[in-house]
Structure 1
Amino acid sequence: MTSTTGSTHTSTALEGRTALVTGATSGIGKAVAQNLARQGAEVVLHGRDRTRGEALVKEIAAEGGSARFVAADLTDAEDTLRLAAEAGAVDILVSNAGLYEFAPTAATDAASFDRHIAVNTRAPFLLVGALAPGMAGRGHGSIVLVGSSAARLPAPIGAAYGAEILTRYWATEFGPAGVRVNTVSPGPVHTEGTRAMLGDHIGALDTTNARGRAGDPGEIAEIVSFLAGPASSYVNGAVLYADGGERSALPA
């Protein structure tokens, strides 16, 4: 199950479904949004940069898909709830937006910690609380959290990064009503964000797993689309590790 960000395969597996993807204007989120649109979903794109968001709407339309953009700041609780309201009755929620700052605990101040908690934990909590009851009322829905190998591979940096601790709880809470909740936990992936963080050390990403290379956003998007669609109807409460066979965390 591999792909690239530029994949143009199409399917009707998600036709008639509406998907909200947070952090959709770059990296994994962008690839996920494009892939869901290619499978027939109407995609609500979330991001902070309206220019990039509207550009992606046009890209998806050019491929025959349907998308609209809603800007929101996930560090703000009220803005997060506004995003949920403007997204409307969604069938699929992909909580992809996240923060990860390379800093040891002593160098992580309260403001930085609060940003991490707001985006990585509170925002998905608020979005699920606002959107999952509607899915349950309609008898179907899929929630996919995009986590990170950083949540299970301790390192001397980034301790404020959120883990996938709510997956099983939500799967138990909403599963009986037909709403599935799963997490994808990627290892290192080549994105604009990782290039910005690592700079000249970007090659280190290709040395951390058994595949001998970092992942492509499109590969993660294929897994998200699988979990969002009918082919995974019996998968609930799972954390799927997409890391190429992880060997170790990145060095400090």
Structure 2
Amino acid sequence: MRLEASALAYGYREREIGRDIALDLAGGEVLALLGPNGHGKTTLLKTLLGLLPAKGGTLTLDGRPLAAMSVGERARALAYVPQVHAGTFAFAVSEVVLMGRTARSSLFAAPSGHDRDVVRAMLDRLGIAHLAQRPYTEISGGERQLVMIARALAQEPRYVILDEPTASLDFGNQGKVMNQIRRLAGEGLGVLFTTHDPNQALRYADRAMLLRDGRALASGKARELMTPERLAALYGVAIETVRGEDGKLAFLPG
């Protein structure tokens, strides 16, 4: 079970954003895609999900070319969690999570009893069952992000891809979301998330890729890869290291 890219070029019809990307994601591990805003992380995610066609190289999912797979096949394997958003329509939280079940049935099919059971299980799993009947537009940002993760898990995917999952969240909710990411990997899912915070990559990822100007500066085991020198090259600022009272290393802009 593996998502793999080799010599991958990506971008839009009118222009290339990045190239020469080599990555792989196996079940049970967390890969962090780390870099400044505006340097191609989200465009790369859309390519890995099959939302944008690759402009070169190879991209395979469990040994099959991603481009040869149907939308339904990709949706049953790959789940996407976008950056937290307020939403437009006041759907109940349970109905938002239920939308994830369309990957397992026809878009216009009535939800089955099993679909409803899966929704309840995902809400329980993320500790938000009490929000089931609340309007999605009236819950907090951290709660909305947990709902988006529950919707993704309702697809029963093999891989979960998250785009800056803690953007705009307060400190406490950041911890809740990142702990869920580790839990997913512990249950055998492959997890990829983007971030511009090296401390998240250091603490929660098994491996990391440093992306700048659409190119990978380096990739490898997160704890070995993350050095002040590499992070300074990635962000263009001096980086300092500190250790907390718990002995854990953290990075700060110098």
TM-score (norm 2): 0.33
Kindly indicate which of the two structures has a greater share of residues assigned to strand.
2
Structure 1 or 2, whichever has the larger Rg, is 2
Q: Structure 1 length normalisation: TM-score? A: 0.33
Higher fraction of helix? 1
Which structure's relative contact order is higher, taking Cα pairs within 8 Å and 6+ residues apart? Answer: 2
